[in-house]
Structure 1
């Protein structure tokens, strides 16, 4: 027992203690020590006994050394405990994929959109939450015990590396609305949308850059409407075609389109 920790609280105190196993086993175990004070300032537990309660985080239960100090009502109570807090471990975050986004942690420590790392105490679970940028999707976690696309909660037992993959939302890159709201069709490219469009259709595109050539060679009339946000509900800028626009046949009307 070589660390003295002082905690101030009003009615409820939590302290992490280092506790040894039985005499024959010197491997350290860790416990959550809990103090609850009654209305008169006395040290108590939820069952009313004036003693300390120990909630084991590993077994077998060992012995601990700690002291509770009585105080008058209305004053802060101080609890002193001798012991070692659980160790800190490092979480390293790597970004992958064709897109971009931000990952934040709880407890705080990580909030970044490029490779980064932070240190966390191993008693508290660490939750990583992804937030893709506009026109991007979060494709999932890998390594570090994380998987899927939901926020990842980790219990640290050592230094941990996690990869977060963000990609461009290619499946919804171009949209042709249907006759009924919500019944439209999505396309991955401007060319695919033009080829699939009926005559007099409106082809909606995001306010981002499309790396492709667009060849319009069908006997039909199409309106290409650029500048939309990711949900196709607002027009927030211009669509950029980084390639060639070739109109060979039919009629193509463009709105908010820049050809680079």
Structure 2
């Protein structure tokens, strides 16, 4: 299984529009971060987790012949606003499967009603095949088991996903012990690490490191990173063994 980090940035991306912050002005490609998303591929199958406003740009950078589905972690715009850009896949393949909590589907129906319409559809609109996800019910994607993991983004429940020995969670501030049990014996964990200072709805760096050590995956990568975490090259040197900052276009094999 191959995992490609399509984007590793926070909701505004890096650089932030108009910002003079030193990280936003950095010439290091690893300090330039699109909105957060990953592409997971195995055999001939391709799935993305989250479909944010940079999705088109990400698919041009990492072209795939087909998209087998989109899994959503939650409804915030930096994770969902690119859903209209599934159109090229829809025109070639037909309805695109989407996987999300019922609450997230309701939000998408409200914001992108033309995509979810069943009558009087606009001819150029993409269409989706809805698959509801429950935190207590693993499901299969082409015979591969996927286990949902519930976490909390402040008070908002969000879903992470475990594919075999790889797990991806973002926008996390708290994970209950019963859900942490789903993260045992991982080869790779991906978790958010927003910045140095504490934040009300995201792990900061200290909390992300503590969570990584608690889970005990063989390797951990941090994502959903803001400019306030600092320069990639400097932060990477200070991390514990087997803990790394992810960066856009990084590809790992599980």
TM-score grouping bracket, smaller chain normalisation: under 0.3
Which structure: larger Rg? 1
The structure whose RCO (Cα within 8 Å, separation 6+) is larger is: 2
Q: Which has the higher helix share?
A: 2
Q: Normalising by the residue count of structure 2, what TM-score does the alignment of the two structures yield?
A: 0.25
Q: Normalising by the residue count of structure 1, what TM-score does the alignment of the two structures yield?
A: 0.24
Q: Which has the higher strand share?
A: 1
